[in-house]
Amino acid sequence: MSFLKFLLGEKKSSASVAKERLQLIITHEREEGSTGAPDFLPQLQKDLIEVISKYIKINEQDLKVNVDKHGNLEVLEVKIEMPQDPKNAVAKAG
Amino acid sequence: MSFLKFLLGEKKSSASVAKERLQLIITHEREEGSTGAPDFLPQLQKDLIEVISKYIKINEQDLKVNVDKHGNLEVLEVKIEMPQDPKNAVAKAG
C-alpha cells in the first residue's frame, strides 16, 4: 500500500482541513545486528526543522515530535500545524 | 494506525535488511480550496537531501524520489539506500 493511501485512510476522521499542515517522517532502518553507528536522527531532526522554517513560520506549540523504535527500525515523526498569518495566508479572494 | 505499524507491515516482504536505508516522507496538506500559496515542496526536497548528505554519503543511484498528489494533499517520498563504505561501515567486529 502506498504511503498516500495510508494517509488518506487516516484522513477520514478530519473531513475538512481547517489549518494547513506539514508532516515530516524519517525512517532509519539499520542492517541486522548493526549497533556501532552513532544515532544521528536527533540532530538530523533539528537540522531538518531549521530548513523547513525557511519556508514556513513554525511556532514551538504547533510542532509535535514523535519517535518510535522497533528492532532495527527507527521512525521520527514531526507534525507542524501552520499558523494562519499573513505570510501563510492563502489568497482567498479572487 | 501509527506510521511505524504501517512500515512494519510493509517490511514483511524484505525479511532481513542487507543495506541500511533512510526514508524521508514529507506531506503537505493545504486548507480546503486554497490555491494561492506557491508549491515549495520541490525546493524543500532539495534542501532536505542536502542536509541529510551531511550525515550519510548519498549516491545519486541510491536515491529514489516519488511525488503523489490527491486533492489538497501532497506526499513526497525520498528513499535512500546507504552504500556499504567505510564511512557507513558498522563496527562488525567485537
What is the residue-wise DSSP string for A54-80?
A: TTS---GGGEEEEEEEETTEEEEEEEE
Model confidence over B29-77: pLDDT tens digits?
Answer: 887 766 656 678 888 888 988 998 998 888 888 888 888 888 888 888 8
What ranges do the domains of chain B cover? 17-81
In the stretch 62-81 of chain A, residues with CB closer than 8 A to chain B read 68, 70, 72-73, 75, 77
Question: Which residues of chain B does A37 touch, with a Cβ-Cβ cutoff of 8 Å?
Answer: 20, 88, 90-91
Question: Which residues of chain B does A47 touch, with a Cβ-Cβ cutoff of 8 Å?
Answer: 51, 54
Q: What pLDDT shows up at residue B93?
A: 47
Does the ipTM surpass 0.85? no
Give how far B9 is from chain A: nearest CA, Å: 9
pLDDT of residue A13 exceeding 70, the answer is: no
When scoring A1, A7, A13, A52 by the number of chain B Cβ atoms within 10 A, the one with the most, hence best to mutate, is: A7
Check CB contact under 8 Å for B11 and A73. Answer: yes
Helix H or strand E encompassing B45: helix B41-52
For residue B4, give Cα distances in angstroms to A42, A65, B34, B85, B89: 17, 14, 30, 28, 26
- A54 contacts: CB under 8 Å, gap ≥ 6: B47
Give the start-end residues of each E strand in chain A.
21-29, 63-70, 73-81
Model confidence over A53-81: pLDDT tens digits?
Answer: 998 888 888 888 888 888 888 888 889 98
Cell of B48: 532536505
CATH number of B17-81: 3.30.1070.10
Question: Which residues of chain B does A38 touch, with a Cβ-Cβ cutoff of 8 Å?
Answer: none
For residue B94, give Cα distances in angstroms to A29, A35, A36, B11: 21, 11, 10, 28
